[in-house]
Amino acid sequence: MTKRILVVEDHDDSRTILVTILRRFCGYETIEAANGTEAIEKAAFEKPDLILMDLDLPDISGIDAARAIKGNPKIAHIPIIAQTAWSSRQWKNKALKIGMADYLEKPVSIELMKAIIEKYIGLNDEDHNGAGFVR
């Protein structure tokens, strides 16, 4: 079964590039959200395997959106990875303190992003040597 990732990014071009990379080069299905409120709603409804969350969002911060997701027992188990241009130790510590699983600073290489995602949700079944591997 293909793993699903909720991509939360308010900049349309950045979101499109990220979604394309995740679909074409990594083989994941994606769900998109352009702000924190939409991310909370889609996380609850879609129950993705992982969330990639920008921190600088137009309505509420990615930190506040992640806090809301982690506060919902039905979806609190979903790993959330911060992906942001904010490089200060303060923001990283805040993100990790509220329960985000990891913190990636933009720009992120495809290889690093894929490795971090696989650390939390593993490979897609289809990705195992192209042989339709079933767990």
* Residue in 117, 113, 96 with CA at minimum distance from that of residue 50: 117
Q: What type of residue is 133?
A: F
**Cross-strand pairs, 8:** 33, 53
Higher pLDDT residue, 128 or 97?
97
How confident is the model at residue 134, as a pLDDT?
29
Backbone CA torsion sign across 77, 27, 53, 33: negative
Question: What is the model's pTM?
Answer: 0.89
Contact 15, 32 (CB under 8 A): yes
Residue 10 clears pLDDT 80, i.e. is over it = yes
Under DSSP, is residue 37 helix (H, G, I), strand (E, B) or coil?
A: helix
Lowest mean pLDDT among 15-24, 99-108, 123-132: 123-132
Report the alpha-carbon distance of residue 115 to residue 50 in Å, rounded: 13
Question: What's the pLDDT tens digit per position in 41-95?
Answer: 999 999 999 999 999 999 999 999 999 999 999 999 999 999 998 778 898 999 9
Question: What's the pLDDT tens digit per position in 94-121?
Answer: 999 999 999 999 999 999 999 999 999 9
Q: Where are the domains of the chain?
A: 4-123
Mean pLDDT, rounded, for 18-23: 96
How confident is the model at residue 130, as a pLDDT?
36
Q: Which fold has domain 4-123?
A: Rossmann fold (3.40.50)
How confident is the model at residue 129, as a pLDDT?
37
